[in-house]
Amino acid sequence: MELYTKSWIDEHGEGMNCWKQTAFAHFGAMLGDREQPYPCIPGKQGFHQDNLRFGFAEDPTTDVASVQLATLLKQYGEIARQTGKYASLVVFFDSRTLQKQKAEVDQYQELFWSLLTNLHELDEAQWPEHIPKDPHDPKWEFCFNGEPYFAFCATPAHQVRKSRQFPCFLIAFQPRWVFDEINAETTFGQKLKKAIRQRLVSYDGIPAHPDLKWYGQQNNYEWEQYFLSDDDSSLSKCPFMAMKNKWKSIRS
């Protein structure tokens, strides 16, 4: 498994499989669209400044995809701080079979949480002591190999929330340290939040999902923001904890 930079793919991407070329080309067009700017300003900055890293994985419903994702995220965690201020890992999955089956949003949602649970099971490192283990704690964040990440998922099934729509199944991981200066306690963070929300409403054409809040706020739970529904609905409990406990019961 390899991590790629934008500059490398721009120069050598023609040697990749067609589905990989298509996925990256669409991603570039989406973040480079000036008439309809993508809402995530740090993401756009990271893309154009070559801060992002990209990976490709097989059919996300297979076991091998989980192993590939774990390998990519472990490699990324070891070099993330060297990649730039607006770091993120973007992983594209070969979801052509799911698309032919016309998988719906809730199917992708279950798949997303299954992958995060599998990642946790494959994680050889201890959970960071400063991060709560309960997803229903406002300070909780998904962690892998000792690093906390904000996870973002986009799918082919999303239609209403265009900011969560992508031709193939996609998961992005943003290291928590990226948000050190982007939070509600800084003037820069407050201004950036306002700009992102304005762009989000314009991009989607509907109000922002009610689950979108700030990390650490008492009424905020990060897991709720990882995978947004195509409407305003929310899950009552975090699937990660439920699946994690299911793994434990099976093994015992």
Residue 160 belongs to some domain of the structure: yes
- Predicted confidence band of residue 230 (pLDDT cuts 50, 70, 90): very high
Residue 50 belongs to some domain of the structure: yes
DSSP string covering 153-220, please? Answer: EEBSS--S-GGGB-SS-EEEEEEGGGGSSSSTTSHHHHHHHHHHHHHHHHHHSSPPPTT---TT-TT-
Query: What pLDDT shows up at residue 247?
Result: 47
Looking at residues 67-82, what average pLDDT do you find? 97
Residue 1 belongs to some domain of the structure: no
pLDDT tens column, 194-211: 888 899 999 999 999 989
pLDDT tens column, 179-188: 887 766 677 7
Determine the length of the chain.
Answer: 252
Residue 184 belongs to some domain of the structure: yes
Residue 14 belongs to some domain of the structure: yes
Report the alpha-carbon distance of residue 188 to residue 136 in Å, rounded. Answer: 28
∠ at Cα 70 (64, 147), nearest 5°?
A: 165
146, 229, 177, 193: which is closest to 40 by C-alpha? 193
- The two structure tokens encoding residue 143: 């962690």
- Predicted confidence band of residue 226 (pLDDT cuts 50, 70, 90): very high
Q: Counting runs of H as helices and runs of E as strands, what totals does the chain give?
A: 9, 5
The residue segments making up the domain with residue 194 are 6-251
Residue 116 belongs to some domain of the structure: yes
* Side-chain-facing half-sphere of 168: CA atoms under 13 Å: 26
Dihedral sign, CA of 110, 123, 144, 19?
A: negative
Q: Domain count for the chain, please give it.
A: 1
pLDDT tens column, 103-135: 999 999 999 999 999 999 999 999 999 999 999
Residue 113 belongs to some domain of the structure: yes
pLDDT tens column, 11-66: 999 999 999 999 999 999 999 999 999 999 999 999 999 999 999 999 999 999 99
∠ at Cα 22 (21, 24), nearest 5°?
A: 65
pLDDT tens column, 156-190: 999 999 999 999 999 999 999 998 877 666 777 77
Query: What pLDDT shows up at residue 194?
Result: 84
Asked whether residue 72 carries a pLDDT value surpassing 80, the answer given is: yes
Query: What pLDDT shows up at residue 183?
Result: 67
Q: What one-character DSSP code corresponds to residue 27? A: H
- SS3 state of residue 232: coil
